[in-house]
Amino acid sequence: MQYDIPSFNHLIKNRRSVFPDQFEPGKQAPAEFIQQILENATWAPNHGHTEPWHFSVFTGNGLKKLAQFQSELYKSESGDTFKEAKYLKLLRNPLLASHIISIGMKRSAERKIPEIEEIAAVACAVQNIYLSTSVYGLGGYWTTGGVTYMEKAKSFFGLEKEDKLLGFFYIGYIAIPSQAASRKPVHEKVAWIE
């Protein structure tokens, strides 16, 4: 075998979401780690080789720009549903991360692949990000909160009308580890037909 199977299985079972409040404040991940994590993301399976993912990476002052953009867009778009606590969270949380990657799905020009398959391909890329982040000793999580589903947010992340913003992946060094998790027994989710 070319791969260490027990280590791989351990990685799959022990990957955890790590949230901004669990990050080590101010500790910056090396740019080469993030570059390799993104390279790994691009090796996700995708129907028709459309490679529909589009990422924008925010770090340093870019985190402040993201925080300002999303908090102000939320404020201007929320109307009567505006919540000061949410506004402040959108302003604060990006500053706790080392890097934030916006997760976009760009539709292929030919539109030959169903949109749901393009979204699924991006989700596979995000799983590669999750696993790669863990291997590099970093924590991270995929959020679809904030401005994710606001049409007016798309252009800030290099996306067009037909594209989708699918959220953000926060990355940082882990100060407070996430708790162990569990799953239902696999036999409850699988049917074998022989």
| CATH number for position 32 | 3.40.109.10
Is 9 domain-assigned?
Answer: no
- Domains: count for the chain: 1
13 assigned to some structural domain: no
Along the 194 residues of the chain, how does pLDDT read in single tens digits?
Answer: 799 999 999 999 999 999 999 999 999 999 999 999 999 999 999 999 999 999 999 999 999 999 999 999 999 999 999 999 999 999 999 999 999 999 999 998 777 899 999 999 999 999 999 999 999 999 999 999 999 999 999 999 999 999 999 999 999 999 999 999 999 999 999 999 99
Is 1 part of a structural domain of the chain? no
Q: Is residue 6 part of a domain?
A: no
- Give all strands of the β-sheet with 53-58 in edge-to-edge order: 53-58, 99-105, 164-173, 138-143
Say if 7 falls within a structural domain.
Answer: no
**102: β partners:** 56, 168
Q: Is 20:96 a contact under the CB 8 Å cutoff?
A: yes
CA 70 to chain centroid, in Å, comes to 16
Spatial separation of the C-alpha atoms in residues 42 and 74, rounded to whole Å: 30
Supply 26's token pair: 């101010």
Give dist(CA 41, CA 169) in Å, integer.
Answer: 12
Domain span including residue 138: 18-178
**Per-residue confidence (pLDDT) for residue 109, from 0 to 100:** 77
In a domain, 183, yes or no: no
Helix (H) or strand (E) holding 170: strand 164-173
Residue 33 lies in a domain: yes
Q: What is the pLDDT of residue 80?
A: 95
Place of tokens 């985190």: 63
CB 169 within 8 A of CB 125: no
pTM of the model: 0.95
In a domain, 10, yes or no: no
